[in-house]
């Protein structure tokens, strides 16, 4: 209790500076960026679940692609969730600039498609889409705040 009055008097003696309080526009920008950073950190959480689902399906996409969540992995995942099982059709979804041939991709997709494992795959895709929607919403809020302050 006795420390409070002393701490309150210190700035009047020049012994303590006041706290830094950023400008209002910077506070607003921080308020928008913090939730976006939280979502970005959380976005990586479903990646191990997706990789585990690839493994359970005996689909060897991680062996032919380094990133199973990028321009090749997500379209293939969406096709699998829609019910596509043909390895050559799935391999046709590969990104054109990928180094892996379509035949090697087709060999990686000969797996064991059990319904229980496809449920895990569907949930991983939905979770990924959920995080992407929140990141997009945060980006729109940041753009809106930027237009208002300019």
For 47-70, the pLDDT digits (tens) are 776 677 667 776 766 666 656 666
Q: How many domains does the chain have?
A: 1
**Is 31 contained in some domain?**
yes
SS3 65: coil
**Is 12 contained in some domain?**
no
* Residues 128-144: b if buried by 16+ CB within 10 A, e if exposed: beebeebbeebeebeee
- pLDDT tens digits, 127-145: 888 888 988 988 888 887 7
**Exposed (0-12), middle (13-18) or buried (19+): which is 61, by Cβ within 10 Å?**
buried
**Is 142 contained in some domain?**
yes
**Is 119 contained in some domain?**
yes
**Is 8 contained in some domain?**
no
Q: Residue 72, by phi and psi: left (phi above 0), alpha (psi -120 to 50) or beta?
A: alpha
- Domain of 36, in residue numbers: 23-149
**Is 105 contained in some domain?**
yes
**Is 76 contained in some domain?**
yes
pLDDT number for residue 121: 77
CA distances from 109 to 6, 40, 54, 95, 106 (A): 72, 30, 10, 15, 5
**Is 9 contained in some domain?**
no
How many Å is the Cα radius of gyration of the chain? 25
Written as tens digits, the pLDDT of the chain (150 aa) is 567 787 777 777 777 776 778 888 788 778 878 888 888 888 877 777 667 766 777 676 666 665 666 677 778 788 888 888 888 888 787 777 666 777 777 777 777 777 777 777 788 788 888 888 988 988 888 887 766 555
Tell me which residue of 111, 121, 126 sits closest to 53, measured CA to CA. Answer: 121
Which tokens go with 98?
Answer: 């990928």
Furthest C-alpha separation in the chain: 79
SS3 40: helix
pTM assigned to the model: 0.61
């Amino acid at each position: 209790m006795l420390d409070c009055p002393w701490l309150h008097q210190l700035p009047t003696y020049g012994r303590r500076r006041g706290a830094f309080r950023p400008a209002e526009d910077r506070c607003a920008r921080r308020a928008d960026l913090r939730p976006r950073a939280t979502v970005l950190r959380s976005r990586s959480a479903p990646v191990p679940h997706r990789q585990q689902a690839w493994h359970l399906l005996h689909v060897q996409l991680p062996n032919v692609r380094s990133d199973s969540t990028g321009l090749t992995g997500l379209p293939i995942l969406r096709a699998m969730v829609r019910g596509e099982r043909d390895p050559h059709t799935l391999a046709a979804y590969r990104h054109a600039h990928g180094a892996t041939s379509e035949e090697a991709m087709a060999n990686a997709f000969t797996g064991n498609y059990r319904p229980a494992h496809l449920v895990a795959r569907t949930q991983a895709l939905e979770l990924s889409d959920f995080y992407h929607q929140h990141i997009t919403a945060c980006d729109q809020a940041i753009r809106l705040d930027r237009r208002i302050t300019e």
